[in-house]
Each structure stands twice: as structure tokens, then as C-alpha cells.
Amino acid sequence: MKDNEKELVDLDEEGNLQENEEKKDIKSNKKDYSFKIIATIIIGGIIILSCIFIGKKYVTMNHIELIVTDNYDEMSQKAGSIIAELVKKNPNAILGLATGSTPIGTYNELIKRYKNKDISFKNITTYNLDEYCDLNQNHPQSYFTYMYEHLFKHIDINLANTHIPKGEGDSELNSKNYENMLNKNKINLQILGVGGNGHIGFNEPGTHFDMGVHLVQLHNKTIRDNARFFENDINKVPKKAITMGIKNILNAETIVLMANGTNKADAIKNVMSGIVDINIPVTALNIHKGKVYIIVDKKAASKL
Ligand code: F6R
């Protein structure tokens, strides 16, 4: 006989009616409890199956720190501070760099701090995310030229320690060589922008997250978006590029993703929702093992 039942039998000798009611209460509480467990299991199962069914996984995102700023300048300052702190702490750090319009303000911030003698890049190594194919590296719109003009020529970095994928020549061999270099040199901090369609690097929607450095065919939306750098003529925009894969990006210890403007609002809403979906490459950040900062202006945060 269980203890609580024994107690009820003892009490039964003193007053029948009251104690029988108590016994009933305990039994009905037990039933309620079992019902709640079964209901929780069924509802939980339905949620998990629905997630699998629609091909999206949901994860917890404790590693992501969202910083919403008033404007582009504040976004750039915040990102610049995070990078500068790392460079001060680890003067031999390896940085992963991005191009495009988003990080220009951040690079200006780093140049300012270098000129104020706050930081030095003397022993810093860099690896860029991507480069257009079939564009001479000295072309004004190559990412090689971009990096030199927007950052490298203004700071004390040793150019021999800067790396950008080679867009000309045998793309398979160039990808392999870049992959080997990345495998030997872990990136401490990777800077990212994001495309309107959620691409990171040139990893377009549908790219598997386990891909390393590879050749890509740019999507029409990306070609249209980038036409602004090629006299608004989509025929002048290269159609292929070499890019770090998402696997390489996720290898970085820390990631700093920046976004400004309303055309990035959907991408930011998607990554912050916690989904992991290969059709929205930026959502790969939800499965990153290290720290991720997502620094966005109010407009990019407008759909949160
Ligand atoms: C560039 C890169 C791209 C850009 C993205 C956003 O190296 O990797 O993924 O970050 O296309 O470009 P912007 O910043 O011009 O809006």
C-alpha cells in the first residue's frame, strides 16, 4: 500500500466521507497530470514534424547578438570597434573581409583608428570572401582593386599577407588553392554583408552549407544589384565568381554581419527568426558554433 493511500485508510477510521473525497482528488490530479504529459508529447511531435515537413529547422540563437543602430555611420562605428578590439588584443589576428557598399564605412573607421595610432595592421593577415571571374585584377571593379582602394593602401598592412581568390585562369585550381590556404589558417573574425536575396559571399540561395571555396554562376538578382558598379549596364557585370563556401564562413571564430537599408530587411528578418534554410544562405549563421554579431541600421531592422 502506498503511503498516501495508507494515510487515507487511517483517516477513514475517523470520518468516511471527507477522506474518500480526498482520495478522489488525488486520483483525478494524477489523471490531469498524465493528460498534460500526453498532450505535450503530441503537440511537440506535431511541431517537430511540421518543421521537418516544410524543410526548415529552428534553433536557439544564444550566440547571436543583434545591435540595431540609428544609421549607417553608427553601424560602421560599432563594427569598427569590434574589429579594432580584436586587432588590439591579437595583433596577429586573421581577418575575413568582404567588399560591396556595406563595409566601406567600417573600413573608414579602421583607417581612422590606424591614423590615430590606436591600432596597427602590421602583423594582420586577411582573406577576402570572393572575387569576380574573368575580370582583370586591376579592373576598377575587381575586388582586388576595391580592397586596395578602400583599405589596404591607407594602413600599414603587409600586402603579402592579404589574400583574395584569383578570378582569372583555372577556376577549379584557384578554388582548391584558396581552400587549402583557408584550411591552414583559421579566421578569427569574418566580416559579412548580405545580399537582398540573403546571399553571403557569393553563396546564392540553394547553396549547400557544407560547400568549400567554389565557382558560382551569379543569380540574375545579384547581377542586377551589382550593375550599379558597372555603369548600370548588366552586360558589363561578370556572371561568375569564386567564393568562400558557407562551410569556410562558418569556420570563422567570430562573425560580424552588417546590413543597412530596407532592401536587407527581409534577409535580417529571416536570420533573426531562427530558421535554417539553404534557400536563404544568411540563415546559416543560426548554426554557427562561435559568436555572431548582427549589426543593422533601423531600416534593415524594420521587419523585426
Ligand atoms: C562581397 C560579398 C557580398 C556582399 C553583398 C552585399 O564581398 O560577399 O555578399 O556582401 O552582395 O553587397 P552590398 O554591401 O553592396 O549591399
d(CA 187, CA 192): 13
- CB-ligand 1 contact for 260 (6 Å cutoff): no
From 30, 53, 76, the end of a domain falls on 53
| For ligand 1, mutation pick of 178, 202, 213 (most atoms within 8 Å of CB) | 202
Q: Is residue 303 part of a domain?
A: no
Q: Is residue 79 part of a domain?
A: yes
Kindly give the number of the ligand 1 atom that is closest to the alpha carbon of 200: 9
Q: Name the pTM for this structure.
A: 0.81
227-276 pLDDT, tens digit each: 998 999 999 999 999 999 999 999 999 999 999 999 999 999 999 999 99
d(CA 283, CA 133): 26
Q: Do 179 and 135 belong to one domain?
A: yes
Q: Do 201 and 168 belong to one domain?
A: yes
Residue 2: Cβ-neighbour burial (10 angstroms; 0-12, 13-18, 19+) = exposed
Hey, whose CA ends up nearest to atom 11 of ligand 1? Answer: 195
Q: Do 7 and 111 belong to one domain?
A: no
- Give me the pLDDT at residue 80, please: 98
Q: Do 66 and 48 belong to one domain?
A: no
From 33, 53, 73, the end of a domain falls on 53
Kindly give the number of the ligand 1 atom that is closest to the alpha carbon of 100: 15
Q: Do 116 and 264 belong to one domain?
A: yes
The set of residues, in sequence order, having a beta carbon less than 8 Å from that of 256 and lying 6+ positions away, is 79, 82, 83, 189, 190, 191, 192, 292, 293, 295
214-235 pLDDT, tens digit each: 999 988 988 998 899 899 999 9
Q: Do 177 and 31 belong to one domain?
A: no
Structural domain boundaries, residue 44: 3-53
Q: Do 21 and 166 belong to one domain?
A: no
Q: Do 43 and 156 belong to one domain?
A: no
Query: Residue 202 sits in a domain of what CATH number?
Result: 3.40.50.1360
Number of separate domains in the chain:
2
Q: Is residue 304 part of a domain?
A: no
- CB-ligand 1 contact for 218 (6 Å cutoff): no
Ligand 1 centroid from CA 29, angstroms: 59
Hey, whose CA ends up nearest to atom 12 of ligand 1? Answer: 100
pLDDT grade for 21, boundaries at 50, 70 and 90: low
- CB-ligand 1 contact for 256 (6 Å cutoff): no
Q: Do 202 and 152 belong to one domain?
A: yes
Helices (H), ranges, 134-227:
143-150, 171-184, 220-226
Q: What grid cell was written down for 71?
A: 544609421
User: 12-26, 38-52, 55-69, 136-150: lowest mean pLDDT where?
Assistant: 12-26
- CB-ligand 1 contact for 98 (6 Å cutoff): yes
